[in-house]
Amino acid sequence: MQSNHIILKICHLSQSLNNNLILKDVNLNFQSSKIYGLVGTNGSGKTTLMKSILGLNYVDSGQIIFKEINIENGQHEIQRAQIGSLIEEPLFPNNYTVQQVLAEQQALLKVKVTRNYLDKLLLLLGLNRKLETKVKNLSLGWRKKLGILRAICNFPQLLLLDEPFNGLDRLSVHQVEEILTFLAQQNTCIVIASHLIQQLQELGAELYWVKNQQITLLRRADKRLADY
Ligand SMILES: Nc1ncnc2c1ncn2[C@@H]1O[C@H](COP(=O)(O)OP(=O)(O)O)[C@@H](O)[C@H]1O
Ligand SMILES: [Mg+2]
């Protein structure tokens, strides 16, 4: 059953990096079961927002509230197990097999998911055929898919994906879209940073424009879409 309650609130968030103000007084609400797209030119602050949500940046001011609990600056580690993320390119221990990567992630986050759920994800991404393959022998696209799988293997309630379609062939893009649609149906709130607006639109994502330290809703007929 789907519910559309607000799961993540960003309130008056200002974020500097090395004394450069990247985001200024940003206010956003994200709902369960919905897909959001962050678009904007390189260096506009998409990755920065995701890192701030994950507690990887020390915020200047403002609050980040996940399920009614403040999580800015990495407080409340316990909530983090419910957030899946892939920020920039995935890193893995090279000698691990695909299976070991997934086992480690599940042990780390201590979240139990059903075998059915994991099998479905493996099958949808075609990674079921690669379980015994060492990560160092995977191509870039397969590593990306493994990064996505690692981000979702614990059935997160909030999923942050930074440029998830980069480096993927058409079939893989389609597989990832299918998985994201499935997760949204299961109530996951999904936030995707991508310059591939078409993919975001295919997913029915609500689009936000990151520019000049601000993040604003981008409507379908918005003239700014023509810049893409
Ligand atoms: N660790 C850092 N220290 C200082 N500045 C940074 C750091 N990381 C990113 N930036 C700067 O923050 C701005 C936003 O970067 P980023 O969030 O990565 O943009 P996007 O993901 O939209 O391409 C850029 O101007 C970038 O140079
Ligand atoms: Mg980025």
Which ligand 1 atom is at minimum distance from the Cα of 18? 4
Percent of the chain with pLDDT over 70: 98
For residue 1, being part of any structural domain is answered with: no
How far apart are the C-alpha atoms of 122 and 10, rounded to whole Å?
33
Cα 213 to ligand 1 centroid, rounded to whole Å:
11
Nearest CA to ligand 1 atom 7: 17
Mean of per-residue pLDDT scores for the chain: 93
Instruction: State the amino acid at position 204 in one-letter form.
Output: G
Give per-residue pLDDT as tens, 69-95: 999 998 877 777 899 999 988 999 989
Cα 51 to ligand 2 centroid, rounded to whole Å:
10
How many distinct structural domains can be found in the chain?
1
pLDDT attached to residue 2: 60
Give per-residue pLDDT as tens, 144-172: 999 999 999 999 999 999 999 999 999 99
Q: Do 87 and 160 form a contact (C-beta atoms < 8 A)?
A: yes
For residue 210, being part of any structural domain is answered with: yes
Work out whether the CA dihedral 160, 162, 166, 167 comes out positive or negative: negative
pLDDT attached to residue 228: 65
Determine whether the shortest distance from the Cβ of 215 to ligand 1 is under 6 A: no
Spatial neighbors of 79 by CB under 8 A, at least 6 apart, are 66, 67, 69, 71
Sheet holding 189-193, edge to edge: 83-86, 158-162, 189-193, 35-39, 206-211, 214-218
- Give me the residues near ligand 2 (ion), CB cutoff below 5 Å: 46-47
pLDDT attached to residue 8: 97
Closest by CA position to 143, among listed 114, 115, 121, 172: 172
Q: Does the pLDDT of residue 223 top 90, yes or no?
A: no
Q: Does the pLDDT of residue 209 top 70, yes or no?
A: yes
pLDDT attached to residue 81: 81
Calculate mean pLDDT across residues 9-29.
98
For residue 201, being part of any structural domain is answered with: yes
pLDDT attached to residue 73: 92
For residue 51, being part of any structural domain is answered with: yes
Q: Identify the domain containing residue 209 by its residue range.
A: 6-227
Q: Does the pLDDT of residue 143 top 90, yes or no?
A: yes
Determine whether the shortest distance from the Cβ of 45 to ligand 1 is under 6 A: yes
Closest by CA position to 101, among listed 144, 152, 150, 137: 150
User: If you count them, how many residues does the chain have?
Assistant: 228
Say which CATH number the domain at 119 has: 3.40.50.300
Calculate mean pLDDT across residues 100-121.
88
Nearest CA to ligand 1 atom 10: 17
For residue 73, being part of any structural domain is answered with: yes
Determine whether the shortest distance from the Cβ of 21 to ligand 1 is under 6 A: no
For residue 100, being part of any structural domain is answered with: yes
Q: Using only C-alpha atoms, what is the Rg of the chain?
A: 17
Nearest CA to ligand 1 atom 26: 43
For residue 119, being part of any structural domain is answered with: yes
Calculate mean pLDDT across residues 168-192.
96
Q: Does the pLDDT of residue 227 top 70, yes or no?
A: no
